[in-house]
Structure 1
């Protein structure tokens, strides 16, 4: 055993010249990689949707005294390559239709359909963002004989940008086109451009620089102004040049409702063709070599990889948005359900005339499984000695090596028996205690838990109803003075006990807590006793009792004070075991979904709710924080913060109501916002690790938490609802 432990320790270290260095545990690495991948997908999605690194400023006109006269007075095709200042004009009776800002998934196909129907070609100046998102439309443009031009990646006003940013806009735009259609293009149109005569001292240097990069700049000399949506007749009139002149016509296939553009094309193309016009792409109209050149080799694969990543980000982000909607609905729905049903439960059990049945006064057996509980066991036993209900106390020492059994025996108190066994685990210890129990009702508690004097009496009263087979008590965190303890205190009051009220009303309680629960011995015998099939024996036995037809209820006044983990590592170990054990129990009892009769209620209601709220929903919970971070950084910041505060307000309302029901001080809720940000992520990573363990077929052994014995027994006759810490009553 020692050899195996040394081997495990060695596996967690890496030898370095400076000595052994600890590896980052896999349980941290995998969830972190998942979160980083999700953030990367969101960042990529924001990038191609112009939410990140986009510049939407538009510069007003400036002076033009530094612009060459041949440019100001020339045609719409500007060639500044190699230091030239040439301009070209489209010959008469030739129209070059140009479409900006696409491709658009709705309007571009309609435009392409009209062009194909009338055997017309055009030039599409596409943005890199849209080409990356809709590469199939770019491929269709090329396949149908149209030309592609660059319109930058994010559509900024380039006169505001540095040369480095201009190069980046061009290269990213080319990358998108290369990946979509396997081509490069030498045509470029600046965003917010118009006629060549509108060139000024700010835009001309950009055009000259882009020419030096090998591009021909194409503006226009006929603006349809279709973006204004002035009507089909007006668009046709503006797009038709006078006296049979040739023209480059500016139109749009994206950026809004383009139904008027499509209708205008459908009328204009046959009418102008009848007048002798030809609708060609730019190089056809100028009788010039094609503006397209094929892309091969590494550049082609870079483009394809880019398109693949963008498409993946679109799909994954879509799934994340759906997941966010689902988790948001689940969170709000669960809170509403808990509030309504918890109020109903409290109103029912707090009525003056409420009775479970005849009072239960006969003695009960209290089983205390203990493994190395030397620091806690005396407080546990002393709390039971102060019980207002007659009890038989059975401490089952499960092979302790710290003298736990000797401590109990040395106390020399009546009605306390110690049963020793070799270390076999908690389920075996409970079954051993069950075999030694003298009474039909047995109470089970942990060796680190203390009961209030009234706890046993309150816990067993529901057995006055012969249909009740088990009762869940009210487990509370005793060591709540630390931040981790306070977070667990909130979780216990809000997440566990409020849940139990809800499940009690729905008659599908999923778990009798190991810290405080009671059972009919006959009911346990009918389902085969405690099982070691799962790491959550309390959840396993509760589900088995439901399936056997027994009713399981919650006793709010049966309070038990337990010592919660005080370090992140201990908390991790405990919740990992709980999460994985719950998954095991759900899988073990999956056939409850098809159980018939009254016992099938748990399968129809309880099992789906447990799977949804305890396994699936927590796995999606980080999406709230991921989208919060994204929205705060990249916008819309105000709406994002308001939405997150709204969710937090709902949680705070629910938590405050839970604290009020349990008569707890509200001061601990001060740490609720921090708990929602940090604690939830820890629980997410734990649950993700449990999923990984389950999917890979791994096995997890029961892990013993280190106890401090800080939670002491309540003083006899004390009216406080809180335990003693280190023997001192809590104020």
Structure 2
């Protein structure tokens, strides 16, 4: 139990969070959601921005790598069909089939992000002898984008081309560009910048405007307009961005009609008589390209997975909440009927002798209040209280001895842990009914009577009481109060009806001695001895029930550090207990019923969903800034409203005021994240095989400050 807790996982968690954020940003960048302004207003035109006449009246391909711009036109009777914005998984293959049927070659100005999504299509373009050009990575308006963004877009596209096809390209076409005569000043400036990077800048002679979906006849008419019998031309079309059925039909017609005039269809480089624009990439370029390629593919898979996980988690959480409320209502109805059948004298009809065991380790702050509350009871039968001091290093034992309370027995033993202390108390107990109480807990006067009453049924082996937070002042106290009432107690009502209770809290529980003997007492194999014991009793065939009227007030952790230590032990111990009792999933009888009803529920809602919840939360935050925020915000608000309504009902069932619910939205943002991290740390600890040491928390003497009156403590 003294092995050092792992610390390196915090670094791994941080690196994982950074990797997730990086993947989200990469996917957002590829989708055009991150880094691109929706404002496409061009920058102001300066004196040197106006393209010269030799450019606006020249050919559609510009060589701008020198100070003097040069342009070139296609050869006579040569048509360069060019397609922008792809590759597209639906329309690019159809266009390729048309081109292959006619024996024609074309040039595809590809968007880098599309290449990363469909690398096999990019490879097909090259394999079938077509040419690829650079159309930026996310189809940005180069004329309205900063120079660093333009360079990055062009460079990333080159990288994914190298990774997907093993080739790089010397051709580039600016998105939103058209013919040389329509070149604006900012576009001219962007073209010059691309030229200085070594690109041939391709515009077009014939802009079919097929992106506007004018119909196949109109696309054909624009492609053939003013095309003399011997004149060559560069024709702009699109193979992505929506329904391109008209473009596919138009290409077939364009090739058929122009071939009849003696025109040939080839790549843009061959059409203008320059060396092939696509050249083999170096090993370094291919390696970097594959890295970028796999990065975007991985980020897309991750985001798709997070979207699916977000949906599944939302549905499961909503269904869980609905089922909890349904079971809570049914439990309340049954409890009322049962109390009515028992009548007024129901509690007095079953008052067996009770042994109360109080394991105590450094409980000097609250042990006196605990003992006073146990003795200040209206329970009429004989009662013995056994305080087991488990090697305390403070004044716990001295305080108990000095109190010299009637019926209280002090047992001192070397420190051995809470299970050892409980087993010592069980061995000393003389009654058939054993009640276990933590040393920081106080009972109300009627608690014992309500707690032991369900044990009148011979099939009941143990009873869980209703634990309430006494120190509920401040945000942390209110958050824990809400968690106890809405989370723990709603769960216990459901588990009671399904007869698969996983945990009787250490603060308050009653046990039949025979049930304890059946399972060999309290096991020391886990850190959640209460969960381990309860699961064992359920598997042994005993019923474990929840008695909401048996109220115990406990001191909850008063700081985040203390809360972390407590929940870390709880979570780690619960994982141990679930693993220990895993065979119940395949067993028959009561053990199998318990396992198949309880363990999957705990696995889903206490392990799996909390494990992935931080990633979903990061994705939600990302979506609020970079995706459609309204659906995500509406989902969060709707879920919070549903939780608030459920919380109000749970508080009403427990006889509590609904005023603390105002902290519920903030609890979802802060407190819930802390609980998720606890689960993650516990899982890492378990996977690494480290035995977590016992986590004790410091007591602040809540009940000593309030007095020993248990009822007052609850007010």
TM-score normalized with structure 1 length: 0.91
Structure 1 outlier segments of 4+, above 6 Å: 60-65, 713-716
State the partner residue of 2:287: 301
Whole-Å Cα distance in 2 between the matches of residues 124 and 643 of structure 1?
Answer: 41
Q: Give the one of 119, 129, 135 matched to 1:151.
A: 135
Answering whether residue 245 of structure 2 is matched by residue 255 of structure 1, we say no
Q: Give the one of 340, 344, 366 matched to 2:326.
A: 340
State the partner residue of 2:278: 292
Contact 1:471–1:554 under 8 Å retained in 2: yes
In the superposition, relative to structure 1, how do residues 57 and 400 fare at CA in structure 2: closer, same or farther (>3 Å)? Answer: closer
Answering whether residue 677 of structure 2 is matched by residue 685 of structure 1, we say yes
State the partner residue of 1:109: 93
Answering whether residue 523 of structure 2 is matched by residue 531 of structure 1, we say yes
In the superposition, relative to structure 1, how do residues 467 and 274 fare at CA in structure 2: closer, same or farther (>3 Å)? Answer: farther
Aligned with 2:62: secondary structure?
strand
In the superposition, relative to structure 1, how do residues 177 and 392 fare at CA in structure 2: closer, same or farther (>3 Å)? Answer: same
Answering whether residue 457 of structure 2 is matched by residue 465 of structure 1, we say yes
Answering whether residue 575 of structure 2 is matched by residue 583 of structure 1, we say yes
Whole-Å Cα distance in 2 between the matches of residues 379 and 660 of structure 1?
Answer: 28
Contact 1:100–1:253 under 8 Å retained in 2: yes
Aligned with 1:393: secondary structure?
strand
Aligned-residue offset at 1:36: 2.3
State the partner residue of 1:413: 405
Indicate the larger mover: 298-307 or 269-278. Answer: 269-278
In the superposition, relative to structure 1, how do residues 523 and 143 fare at CA in structure 2: closer, same or farther (>3 Å)? Answer: same
Indicate the larger mover: 468-477 or 667-676. Answer: 667-676
Whole-Å Cα distance in 2 between the matches of residues 571 and 198 of structure 1?
Answer: 67
Indicate the larger mover: 96-105 or 82-91. Answer: 82-91
Q: Give the one of 353, 358, 362 matched to 2:340.
A: 353
State the partner residue of 1:17: none
State the partner residue of 1:19: none
State the partner residue of 1:387: 377
Whole-Å Cα distance in 1 between the matches of residues 341 and 626 of structure 2?
Answer: 56
Gaps of 5+ in 1: 13-24, 725-729
Q: How many residues align?
A: 705
State the partner residue of 1:605: 597
Contact 2:365–2:704 under 8 Å retained in 1: no
Indicate the larger mover: 400-409 or 248-257. Answer: 400-409
Indicate the larger mover: 641-650 or 107-116. Answer: 107-116
Answering whether residue 179 of structure 2 is matched by residue 189 of structure 1, we say no
Aligned-residue offset at 1:715: 6.8
Answering whether residue 424 of structure 2 is matched by residue 432 of structure 1, we say yes
Please list the CA deviations of residues 519-552 of structure 1 after superposition, one character each: whole Å capped at 9, or x if unmatched: 1111111121111111111111111112111111
Aligned-residue offset at 1:274: 4.9
Answering whether residue 364 of structure 2 is matched by residue 374 of structure 1, we say yes
Whole-Å Cα distance in 2 between the matches of residues 672 and 61 of structure 1?
Answer: 48
Whole-Å Cα distance in 2 between the matches of residues 398 and 238 of structure 1?
Answer: 92
Contact 1:628–1:644 under 8 Å retained in 2: no
Whole-Å Cα distance in 2 between the matches of residues 412 and 281 of structure 1?
Answer: 101
Q: Give the one of 623, 628, 632 matched to 1:631.
A: 623
Aligned with 2:486: secondary structure?
helix
State the partner residue of 2:561: 569
Contact 2:538–2:590 under 8 Å retained in 1: no
Indicate the larger mover: 25-34 or 498-507. Answer: 25-34
Whole-Å Cα distance in 1 between the matches of residues 133 and 675 of structure 2?
Answer: 50
State the partner residue of 1:549: 541
State the partner residue of 2:54: 70
Whole-Å Cα distance in 2 between the matches of residues 451 and 27 of structure 1?
Answer: 41
State the partner residue of 2:211: 227
Aligned-residue offset at 1:145: 1.4
Contact 1:625–1:677 under 8 Å retained in 2: no
Q: Give the one of 289, 293, 297 matched to 1:311.
A: 297
Give the 5 Å matches for 1:60-209.
Answer: 66-209=50-193
Whole-Å Cα distance in 1 between the matches of residues 175 and 43 of structure 2?
Answer: 14
Please list the CA deviations of residues 273-301 of structure 1 after superposition, one character each: whole Å capped at 9, or x if unmatched: 45533221111222320112332144433
Indicate the larger mover: 489-498 or 311-320. Answer: 311-320
In the superposition, relative to structure 1, how do residues 324 and 623 fare at CA in structure 2: closer, same or farther (>3 Å)? Answer: farther
Whole-Å Cα distance in 1 between the matches of residues 57 and 705 of structure 2?
Answer: 96
State the partner residue of 2:36: 54
State the partner residue of 1:479: 471
Answering whether residue 21 of structure 2 is matched by residue 29 of structure 1, we say no
Answering whether residue 480 of structure 2 is matched by residue 488 of structure 1, we say yes
Whole-Å Cα distance in 1 between the matches of residues 14 and 483 of structure 2?
Answer: 24
Please list the CA deviations of residues 616-650 of structure 1 after superposition, one character each: whole Å capped at 9, or x if unmatched: 12112224421232123223233332222222222
State the partner residue of 1:321: 307
Whole-Å Cα distance in 2 between the matches of residues 539 and 422 of structure 1?
Answer: 24
Whole-Å Cα distance in 2 between the matches of residues 685 and 406 of structure 1?
Answer: 39
Contact 2:360–2:389 under 8 Å retained in 1: yes
Please list the CA deviations of residues 447-484 of structure 1 after superposition, one character each: whole Å capped at 9, or x if unmatched: 11111111111111111222111111111111111322
Aligned-residue offset at 1:229: 2.7
Contact 2:309–2:616 under 8 Å retained in 1: no
Contact 1:57–1:157 under 8 Å retained in 2: no
Aligned-residue offset at 1:591: 0.9
In the superposition, relative to structure 1, how do residues 714 and 158 fare at CA in structure 2: closer, same or farther (>3 Å)? Answer: closer
Whole-Å Cα distance in 2 between the matches of residues 141 and 447 of structure 1?
Answer: 75
Q: CA RMSD in A?
A: 2.6
Q: Give the one of 631, 653, 656 matched to 2:648.
A: 656
State the partner residue of 1:443: 435
Whole-Å Cα distance in 1 between the matches of residues 705 and 533 of structure 2?
Answer: 28
Whole-Å Cα distance in 2 between the matches of residues 322 and 687 of structure 1?
Answer: 22
Contact 1:478–1:722 under 8 Å retained in 2: no
Contact 2:324–2:491 under 8 Å retained in 1: yes
Contact 1:324–1:620 under 8 Å retained in 2: no
Whole-Å Cα distance in 1 between the matches of residues 368 and 483 of structure 2?
Answer: 27
Please list the CA deviations of residues 696-727 of structure 1 after superposition, one character each: whole Å capped at 9, or x if unmatched: 111112222211221349878x7x85517xxx
Contact 2:163–2:290 under 8 Å retained in 1: yes
Aligned with 1:178: secondary structure?
helix
Aligned with 1:152: secondary structure?
coil
Whole-Å Cα distance in 1 between the matches of residues 257 and 543 of structure 2?
Answer: 81
Aligned-residue offset at 1:271: 5.5
State the partner residue of 1:15: none
Contact 1:508–1:605 under 8 Å retained in 2: yes
Please list the CA deviations of residues 575-627 of structure 1 after superposition, one character each: whole Å capped at 9, or x if unmatched: 11111111111111111111212442112211111111111121122244212
Please list the CA deviations of residues 181-220 of structure 1 after superposition, one character each: whole Å capped at 9, or x if unmatched: 2322111111111111212333223223322332211112
Q: Give the one of 605, 619, 630 matched to 2:611.
A: 619
Whole-Å Cα distance in 1 between the matches of residues 240 and 308 of structure 2?
Answer: 26
Answering whether residue 693 of structure 2 is matched by residue 701 of structure 1, we say yes
With a CA cutoff of 8 Å and minimum separation of 6, indicate the structure with the bigger relative contact order.
2
In the superposition, relative to structure 1, how do residues 558 and 714 fare at CA in structure 2: closer, same or farther (>3 Å)? Answer: farther
